[in-house]
Amino acid sequence: MNNTNLPESAEILRLALPLMSRFKIPVTPRNYAVWYEYASGSNLMLNQKIDHLINSGAPINNEFVSALYAEYIDTNHELSQLEKAQKIFAVLQDSITNVLNVAVGKTTEYGITLDHYNNRIKADLDLEQLQFLINDMAISTKIMLKNNQELMEDLNKTRSEVTALQDQLHVAKKQAKTDTLTELANRKAFFDELEELDRKGTLHSGNHSLLMLDIDNFKKVNDSYGHLFGDKVIKTVAKVLKNNTKGKDLPARFGGEEFIAFLPDTNRAGALAVAEMIRKTIAGARIVNPRNNKVISTVTVSIGITEIVPGDNIEAAIARADDALYCAKNAGRNQTAFADSSQPPVNRTPIATGAFY
């Protein structure tokens, strides 16, 4: 988006909003960026494209605006959608500041006018002069009220846009932390949360456990029944994991067919109980193959557990849980294994991504 000062930003915003309303374009950060850029007139190719469509009477819908954004606006691919939305949000905040500054200026101007009238009233005035002064003051007051009404309308309009954009930012933040297939926390969200607990010092107080879970023979499931069915299996496992972790527990999809869960204030016995409930529930789940409506009864998971001890770091704890998971796989799958914090790392040959135990 181009750089402008506050008055220019406010004017561009006032031009952009009616255009979005005219074409019934949803107020999203991406759409807003396109119409703000169009209203500013700083992107010649974008303006030519939109003007051509308007003149030809062709429909302008949300999908088309998204394509315009990708072609003419999204030139910095290093910025996330959230960062771009925040930049637009900053422009809206500047707009509100501008409106308030104008309001303060108008109020100050009106105060000077009233002082002027007050000084004139103190002078010796005849009836005709006094009547003229009162009429003049009434006109000034009416102008002031009109200006205030217009300013409030501008402010309310911008506030509405800020509220809509805040909602979009909230959704964007949530989406950035959520795995789209399972609706669990994603890997980044998991590490961010544990880093925050580590920063607060709560990660090393009390008894906490870490659980890692992997779907057994998942490649065989995909090869036998297709990737859509594989997605259904992943979602089923995620649902079981979520249903068996409560309160402050943090279940997440770690990647592919692998899941992880942080269990705060949970010792070894408690973690084993949770893991066994998850494992048995999945083993007994009725997962139906949509191709023939037959129940698949061979979907199982292996689970590795470890405790997080004082002075531990999350990378070491994950490595131990992963070692325990490997042991469960190596012992025949559909099992739960525990790795004590004092155990050295398992001496095993690294397995390439996508391979299965």
Q: What residues are annotated to the active site?
A: 257
DSSP structure string for 204-262: GSS-EEEEEEEETTHHHHHHHH-HHHHHHHHHHHHHHHHHT--TT-EEEEEETTEEEEE
DSSP structure string for 6-50: HHHHHHHHHHHHHHHHHTT----HHHHHHHHHHHHT--HHHHHHH
Strands 258-263 and 287-289: unpaired
Query: Amino acid letter at 287?
Result: I
Q: What is d(CA 339, CA 268) in angstroms, rounded to the nearest whole number?
A: 10
Q: What is d(CA 234, CA 248) in angstroms, rounded to the nearest whole number?
A: 23
Polymer length of the chain: 357
Strand partners of residue 336 = 303
Q: Is 211:263 a contact under the CB 8 Å cutoff? A: yes
DSSP structure string for 39-99: HHT--HHHHHHHHHHHHHT----HHHHHHHIIIII---TTS-HHHHHHHHHHHHHHHHHHH
Q: What is d(CA 99, CA 55) in angstroms, rounded to the nearest whole number?
A: 33
